[in-house]
């Protein structure tokens, strides 16, 4: 019975706190994405050749954990199979946040574009089985900072 009460408490707490945290995070993500929309991030490896650019490595890194509620749902999914929707928003948030951090760094350098953008995703719960439900997402790319007119090429 005590087990059940502790479980229900953790579930309620996880759900409420997790939902509030997620809503708040998404709000901030959307806001910053709008603000940084003037700085394109491009997957292509080939930068424009019409002008000269300084190049610099930029990266953004995020580690996010799920709440108790979502982890329980994911564990049930392991039993029955299907889409682990409770982890989808976790990864979505981590990727977008990482990209934003990378863009912020590029913006601070006065970059015009970030090329060759890539993601790395790692689970940081290795060896701890189900004790930690966290992911790390690293976004990195090459920031192009204009340094001269095209006729100097």
Partner 1 sequence: MKFEHREIPDGINVTDVHPLKELVVLLSGATILIVALVYILGLSAGFMAPYIPFDTEKRLTASFPVEAPADTAVEHYLQQVTDRVVEVMDLPEEIEVTLHYSDGDTVNAFATLGGNVVVFRGLLQKLPNENALAMLLAHEIAHIKHRDPIVSLTRGVTISAALAVLLGFSDLDLMGEAGVYTMLHFSRTMEQQADSEALQAVYTLYGHTHGASDLFDTISAWHKASGNSEGVEFMQSHPLDQKRIKTLSAQATSKHWPQAGETTPLPQRFIDGLKGQ
**Where does this chain bind partner 1 (CB under 8 A)?**
3-4, 7, 15, 19, 30, 33, 37-42, 48, 69-73, 75-80, 83, 85-86, 88-89, 91-92, 95, 113, 129-130
SS3 per residue for the chain: CHHHHHHHHHHHHHHHHHHHHHHHHHHHHHHHHHHCCCCCECCCCCCCCCCEEEEEEEEEEEEEECCHHHHHHHHHHHHHCCCCHHHHHHHHHHHHHHHHHHHHHHHHCCCCEEEEEEEEEEECCCCCCCCCCEEEEEEEEEEEEEEECHHHC
At closest approach, how far in Å is the CB of 78 from partner 1? 6
Which residue number, 123 or 130, has a Cβ lying nearer to partner 1? 130
At closest approach, how far in Å is the CB of 50 from partner 1? 8
Which residue number, 75 or 122, has a Cβ lying nearer to partner 1? 75
Which residue number, 4 or 153, has a Cβ lying nearer to partner 1? 4
Which residue number, 32 or 72, has a Cβ lying nearer to partner 1? 72
What is the spatial distance between Cα 98 and Cα 41, in angstroms, rounded to a whole number? 12
At closest approach, how far in Å is the CB of 132 from partner 1? 11
At closest approach, how far in Å is the CB of 20 from partner 1? 13
What is the spatial distance between Cα 19 and Cα 33, in angstroms, rounded to a whole number? 21
At closest approach, how far in Å is the CB of 128 from partner 1? 12
Which residue number, 83 or 152, has a Cβ lying nearer to partner 1? 83
């Amino acid at each position: 019975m005590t087990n059940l009460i502790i479980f229900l408490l953790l579930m309620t707490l996880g759900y409420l706190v997790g939902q509030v945290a997620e809503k708040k995070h998404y709000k901030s993500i959307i806001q910053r994405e709008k603000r940084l929309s003037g700085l394109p991030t491009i997957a292509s490896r080939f930068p424009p050749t019409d002008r000269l650019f300084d190049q610099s490595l930029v990266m953004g890194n995020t580690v996010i954990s799920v709440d108790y509620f979502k982890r329980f749902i994911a564990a049930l999914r392991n039993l029955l199979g299907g889409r682990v929707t409770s982890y989808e928003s976790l990864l979505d948030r981590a990727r977008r946040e990482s990209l934003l951090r990378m863009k912020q760094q590029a913006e601070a350098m006065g970059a015009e574009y970030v090329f060759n953008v890539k993601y790395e995703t790692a689970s940081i719960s290795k060896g701890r089985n189900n004790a930690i439900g966290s992911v790390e997402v690293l976004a990195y790319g090459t920031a192009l900072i204009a340094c001269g007119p095209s006729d100097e090429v």
